Chains A and B, each alone.
Chain A
Amino acid sequence: MKNSLRKISRGTGLSAAVLGVSALVLSGCGAPPAEESSGGSSAAANSDYLGCIVSDSGGFDDRSFNQSSYEGLKKAEADLGIKINQAESQAETDFGPNVDQMVQAGCNLTVTVGFLLADTTKAAAEQNTEANFAIVDDNSIDLPNVKPIIYDTAQAAFLAGYAAAATSETGKVATFGGINIPTVTIFMDGFADGVKYFNEETGGDVQLLGWDKESQNGTFVGNFEDAAAGKTNTQNFINEGADIIMPVAGPVGSGTLDAVIEANAGGKDVKAIWVDSDGYETAGKGEEFILTSVMKLMGDAVEDVISTDVEGTFDNSPYVGTLENGGVALAPFHDQEANVPADLQVTLDGLKEQIISGEITVESAASPK
């Protein structure tokens, strides 16, 4: 028995090896390029401009702010023809050396991602006054060569909260976060306000689980990695009767989608709300159960800042992403269009106008001041 098993495994090993080698051989059979043609056909108008980015410890593949900021830089590379350079931080101890590398490399503008980089960015900007910097999600630096890029995410989250409350069948919606920090709680505050506004306007009684705006306390996973914990949290909310869940925890949200997919397979009607990007396009699974997404369009902001710097009109006034300038937005309903109340989109558009005009104020302790 054992012997035959070994034989089988050896046989499969061999065939796998043969397959692998033949694949290698086949892939190596292409024709060589005729001549070394340096593909510099793109507009090399700004090829002496170097735009750089330093991630925080999440890395450029975090499906969250590092990634969107990096994509913005890549877009600037394609659209403006600038050169780019990037440094990924493995840990917070890499911030200093990474930013120093970028300054030494002669970057015209360095985008640093996250409030944890604020001290490093400030020190580098003070020492290198001829270089420009932009920092995402932090508004603590006031220097002529540093542009803060921040978001009033609560505005878009307000719309999501209203949409969730209007769509909920069970009268319970839920949200949870990664870690209790302002960039996370601003989503939850806006969401809570949206639910509350729905109740006031329509006399409904939709409950919000997982976040209490008054005490600024709620459910948190404790990190931005543990998707299994996200799944457990989501299942708990579903068991408590919630049918729309918004995870504000980056990659942890994929656990929520797992739980939602399972619940739907089990006959329940449960939906998720994605954050940061349009989950219908980026989440990679369970799109059909994503009601909408609270989007923070960081890529556009980064590209904007770079293009103003290329044009020589860099300024240090904070860029605040709002509904008005399109820095934050609510994603379309996509597949869920049929499941939301008929006039919801119209109501939401009206609310958006009211928020932009200031008729409705969405406030969060974490809002940019």
Chain B
Amino acid sequence: MSPQDDRPVPPATGGDAPRSRRAAKEAAREDEMRLENAVDTAGGEMPPPVVPPTAADLAGSPAPESTLLQRVMTGNALVAFLSVVLSLILGGLLIAVTDENVSRASTYFFSRPQDTLAAAWTAASGAYIALFQGSVFNFQGETFARMIYPLTQTLTVATPLICAGLGVALAFRAGLFNIGAQGQILIGATFAGWVGFTLDLPVGVHLLLVVLAGMIGGAIWAGIVGVLKARTGAHEVILTIMFNYIAINFVLYLLSTPAFQRPGSTNPISPQLDATALYPPLLGSGFRLHWGFVVAVLATVFVAWLLNRSTVGFELRAIGANASAARTAGINVSKGYILAMAIAGALAGLAGVAQVSGTEKVLTSGVAASFGFDAITVALLGRSTPWGTFAAGILFGAFRAGGVTMQASTGTSIDIVLVVQSLIVLFIAAPPLVRALFRLPAPGAPRAGKGGSTTRTPASTGAAA
């Protein structure tokens, strides 16, 4: 029959035939509720329903409609937190192992082990203290401004991560694996940059137009993917990856044309954007933090409203939860895909604007750094909720900002930061591992008996509608 067979069936009250029918009805209703729950709790800020079945349903263990994507994006917040902790510990070990002093001391480990341990502790703690000093508060700063400078740096770096992360998260919620934030940022930055350094407009109007151009650029780039997905059924993962390549090579080509080069130079670097096209500094010229951060906050508020309060958001979430059911319910799935991708692209475009008119002030082929890919991690870590993504963006901003100081003051390779970030993804993608390490109860454990390892479903990633 159905997978719910082993559930306690409510006590029967009637004859045989009505009883089984009632049981079936009951099961069907449970199914419905579960779907509803999955959609609702995925809504983020809303507190997860207090009804008992949540744990199992959130992780979507045996539910046939649960997919890898859903499981990843509705993962436990505790798991996310522990993943970060675990990654930091492993990163610390790595710092210690690769440290020169440690390897020197370890050659006589058995004669004087305390040397090795002390060196290891110094290396790891020194690196992490530098990471903190570079990302939150520099207690050695000469002036107060210099002391809080690291925090503003963190917020500056977080700005594009938040914007692009929101785009990825929104697409995730609509059941689309948007790997294309990188290309969308680049195209957004190109549009914004061109408006910024070519047009000559008054203060205010210019910046507004730059922001709009960036959003339109990203929206077009991602929208094409949405259209192809909706019309032809082409898989968005492949499309977005390919569109990343097209974007980077397209930008490289544009930068080899005189329209995008500085007068008198053939280097692939654009002129600086006009002063009127730049985000004004948020805290004065001593800091790099710009109004783009406020835009990122507003974008988060908007996405939170869109997903949780608007009809469009409900439709997108319904599509993400189960495209077939959504279609049956009368939701236009094709329109949903296109819309989700276009909004995601516009958000990524905002990240591009934050780059060209916030921090970098020029367009180059490397203006997007690796923000588009980091954004995927940010969205995963934020469980695809708007404010979760916001927090994860700030955490990753702190890693990046602090990594610079860590490298400069302790000589620890900046790649360690990348390792820590990657470990976080690894642990988030493997919740059973984290649960086993910390001996957390697996979701649905009481029923299934064994841990979360019973949650294997074909990794169809939910997007293959």
Contact B366 A91 (CB under 8 A): yes
Number of interface residues of A (CB under 8 A): 35
Question: Are A92 and B369 in contact, CB atoms less than 8 angstroms apart?
Answer: yes
Among listed B39-47, B173-181, B260-268, interface-contacting one: B260-268
- Residues of the B chain whose Cβ atoms lie less than 8 Å from the Cβ of A179: 252, 268
Interface of chain A residues 352 through 368 with chain B (CB within 8 A): 365-366
A88 at interface by CB-CB < 8 Å: yes
> What is the chain A residue whose CB lies nearest that of B404?
A97
The interface residues of chain B lying within 8 Å CB-to-CB of A102 are: 408
A-chain residues with CB within 8 Å of residue B408 when the two chains form the complex? 85, 87, 98, 101-102, 105
> Does residue A46 face the partner (Cβ distance < 8 Å to B)?
no
A222: which B residues are within 8 A, CB to CB? 249, 252
Of A29-37, A253-261, A323-331, the segment with at least 4 beta carbons within 8 Å of chain B is A29-37
Picked from B111, B268, B359, B409, the residue with its CB within 8 Å of the CB of A32 is B111
Interface string of B248-278 (1 = CB under 8 A from A): 0100100010000000011111001000000
Residue numbers in A under 8 Å from B267 (CB-CB): 115, 181-182
Given contacts A27-B106, A32-B108, contact A97 B153 (CB under 8 A): yes
Chain B residues, CB < 8 A from A119:
272, 361-362
Q: Which of A92, A102, A366 has the most chain B CB atoms closer than 10 A to its own CB?
A: A92
Query: CA of A97 to CA of B115 in the docked complex: distance in angstroms?
Result: 34
B364 interface residue (CB < 8 Å to A):
yes
Query: Are B407 and A87 interface neighbours, CB within 8 A?
Result: yes
Which of B107, B153, B249 is in CB contact (< 8 Å) with A30?
A: B107
CB pair A116 B107 closer than 8 Å:
no
Q: A97-B153, A119-B272, A182-B267 are contacts. A87–B106 as well, Cβ < 8 Å? A: no
| Nearest-CB residue, chain B, relative to A217 | B256
CB pair B404 A365 closer than 8 Å: no
- The reply on B112 being an interface residue by CB < 8 A is yes
Asked whether A181 lies within 8 Å of B268 as measured between CB atoms, the reply is yes
Which residues of A lie under 8 Å from residue B272 when comparing CB positions? 119
Residues of B within 8 A of A97 (CB): 153, 401, 404
CA distance A91 to B408 in the complex (A): 16
Docked pose: A116 CA to B249 CA in angstroms:
18
**A91-B369 contact given A85-B408, A119-B361, CB 8 Å threshold:** yes
Q: How far is the CB of A139 from chain B (nearest CB, A)?
A: 10
| Closest-CB distance, A248 to chain B (whole angstroms) | 15
Q: How far is the CA of A94 from the CA of B403 in the complex (A)?
A: 10
Query: Least Cβ distance of B393 to chain A in Å?
Result: 14
How far does the alpha carbon of A185 sit from the alpha carbon of B211 in the complex, in Å? 36
Residues of B within 8 Å of A91, CB to CB, are 366, 369-370
State how many angstroms separate the Cβ of A111 from the closest Cβ of chain B.
Answer: 14
- With a CB–CB cut-off of 8 A, which chain A residues contact B359? 93, 96
Choose one: A33, A88, A98, A116; the contact of B366 (CB below 8 Å).
A116
Chain B residue with Cβ nearest A115: B267
List chain A residues, Cβ under 8 A from B362.
Answer: 119
Q: Give complex CA distance A102, B367 in Å.
A: 22
Complex contacts, A29 vs chain B, CB 8 Å? 108, 110
Q: Is A90 close to B, CB under 8 A?
A: yes
Q: How far is the CA of A202 from the CA of B409 in the complex (A)?
A: 59
Report whether B369 and A181 are in contact in the complex, using a CB–CB cutoff of 8 Å. Answer: no
Which B residues are CB-close (under 8 A) to A101? Answer: 404-405, 408-409
Within 8 A of B (CB), among A48-100: 57, 85, 87-88, 90-94, 96-98
- B241 contacts the other chain (CB 8 A): no
Partner of A92, one of B107, B360, B400: B360
Cβ contact within 8 Å between A182 and B266:
yes
Q: A29-B108, A90-B370 are in contact. List 17 more A-B contacts (CB 8 A).
A: A87-B408, A90-B415, A92-B366, A94-B369, A96-B359, A97-B153, A97-B404, A101-B404, A101-B405, A115-B267, A116-B364, A116-B366, A119-B362, A140-B265, A180-B256, A182-B267, A222-B252
Q: List 10 A-B contacts (CB under 8 A).
A: A27-B107, A28-B106, A28-B109, A30-B111, A31-B111, A33-B108, A91-B370, A93-B157, A93-B366, A94-B400
List the 8 closest A-B pairs by CB distance, nearest first: A91-B369, A28-B109, A92-B366, A30-B107, A32-B108, A101-B408, A93-B369, A97-B404
Chain B residues packing against A (C-beta within 8 Å): 106-112, 115, 153, 157, 249, 252, 256, 265-269, 272, 288, 355, 359-362, 364, 366-367, 369-371, 400-401, 404-405, 407-409, 413-415, 418
